[in-house]
Amino acid sequence: MQLRAVLFDVGDTLWHAAQPPPPAEFRRMGAERAEAFLRHIGVPCRNPEQLARAAWASMESAMRAARSSDRVEPDYAAVARSAAASEGVFLTNEQAAALMEAIYISGAEGGKRAYPDARGTLVELRNRGFRLGIVTNRAFGGERFRADLRELGLDVGWDAVSVSVEVGFLKPHPALFEHALTALDLEPRQALMVGNSLVEDVSGAQALGIAAAWKRSQPDAEGVTPDLTFGELSELLLWPPLKEAAH
Ligand SMILES: [Mg+2]
C-alpha cells in the first residue's frame, strides 16, 4: 500500500461530545440567541424558543432525508426560512442562514472535546511525511468550523478540508472524497480514510478504491470490511502502511 495522505472524519473520530449541555440548556441558549438576532435585524417574533426549535428540527430532518436518499446537501437556508415562515416569522434566505449560525452552539461551548491522542497522532503522521485531510459531513462549515478545530487543538495545518455543506454532497457520496483527492492531487490508492462510520467513511471510501480504517463503534452497516479496525487513534501509528509516507 503506497499511502501518502490520511483523510479524517471529525465527529466521533477526532472530537466527540464529551460534556454537552443538557437539552433544556441547549434550548434556552438557542432561544436567547434567536431573540437577540431577530431584535438586531428588527424582525418581531413572539416565541423565539419555538422558532429556534422549529428551525433546528427542520434542518435536522432535511439532513436525515438527504442522508437516506441522494446525499445531495439540502439548501439549509431555504429550509430554515420556510420553518420560520410557518411560525409567522418572515426572513430572507440570507437572514435565515444567519439565524441558524446564531443559534448553532458548536465547539467547546457545545461540549466538544478532542480525543486525548488526536493531536499527537496527527502531528506524528505529519512528521512521518503524510499529508492530512478532513472529509466531514456537517451542516455548518466556513470559518466557524475552522475556529472550532483551532479551539480544540486540531489545527495541524490541514492540506485538504472537504466539508459536505461547502462541497454540496454528503458522505458516502463519492464527490466529497474526490474533492479531497483533487485538493491533494492524489490517486485513491494513495490515501487512507479514517472514520467511525462503516456506511459513510469505510464503504464510501472503499467504493472509490481508498483504503479505510474504522474507529470501532456501534456498527451502522453489515458486510463492510475495513482495511484496519482500531480503538484509539494512536494505534494508527503502529500500522505498517503508516510507518512512513511513500514518495
Ligand atoms: Mg463520525
User: 68-114: per-residue pLDDT in tens?
Assistant: 999 999 999 999 999 999 999 999 999 999 999 999 999 999 999 99
The full length of the chain comes to 247
CA of 141 to the centre of ligand 1 (A): 15
Mean pLDDT to the nearest integer, 10-32 = 93
CATH 3.40.50.1000 residue ranges for the chain: 5-18+112-242
Is the pLDDT at 214 greater than 90, yes or no?
Answer: yes
Mean pLDDT to the nearest integer, 233-239 = 98
CA of 226 to the centre of ligand 1 (A): 15
Q: Please identify every residue whose CB atom is under 5 Å from ligand 1, which is an ion.
A: 9, 11-13, 196
CA of 195 to the centre of ligand 1 (A): 6
Task: Compute the mean pLDDT over every residue in the chain, rounded to the nearest whole number.
Answer: 96
Q: Report pLDDT for 213.
A: 98
CA of 173 to the centre of ligand 1 (A): 15
Is the pLDDT at 247 greater than 90, yes or no?
Answer: no
pTM score = 0.95
The alpha carbon of residue 53 and the mean position of all alpha carbons in its chain are separated, in whole angstroms, by: 21
CA of 230 to the centre of ligand 1 (A): 14
CA of 16 to the centre of ligand 1 (A): 9
Q: Look-up: residue for cell 469505510?
A: 202
Contact 197, 212 (CB under 8 A): no
Q: Report pLDDT for 192.
A: 98
CATH 1.10.472 residue ranges for the chain: 23-104
Q: Report pLDDT for 231.
A: 98
CA of 22 to the centre of ligand 1 (A): 21
Q: Report pLDDT for 246.
A: 85
Name the DSSP letter for residue 201.
Answer: I
Residue 19: pLDDT band by 50, 70, 90 thresholds?
Answer: confident
CA of 9 to the centre of ligand 1 (A): 5
C-alpha cell at 94: 440570507
CA of 135 to the centre of ligand 1 (A): 10
User: 26-57: per-residue pLDDT in tens?
Assistant: 899 999 999 999 999 999 999 999 999 999 99
Q: Which CATH class is domain 5-18+112-242?
A: alpha beta
Q: Report pLDDT for 69.
A: 95
Q: Report pLDDT for 43.
A: 94
Is the pLDDT at 204 greater than 80, yes or no?
Answer: yes
Is the pLDDT at 1 greater than 80, yes or no?
Answer: no
Right CATH for 23-104 from 1.10.8, 3.40.50, 1.10.10, 1.10.472: 1.10.472
Is the pLDDT at 21 greater than 90, yes or no?
Answer: no
Mean pLDDT to the nearest integer, 220-230 = 97
Element (H, E) at 95: helix 93-103
Inter-CA distances, 181 with 3, 19, 131, Å = 12, 34, 11
Mean pLDDT to the nearest integer, 184-206 = 98
User: 154-188: per-residue pLDDT in tens?
Assistant: 999 999 999 999 999 999 999 999 999 999 999 99
Distance CA 132, CA 225 (A): 23
CA of 10 to the centre of ligand 1 (A): 6
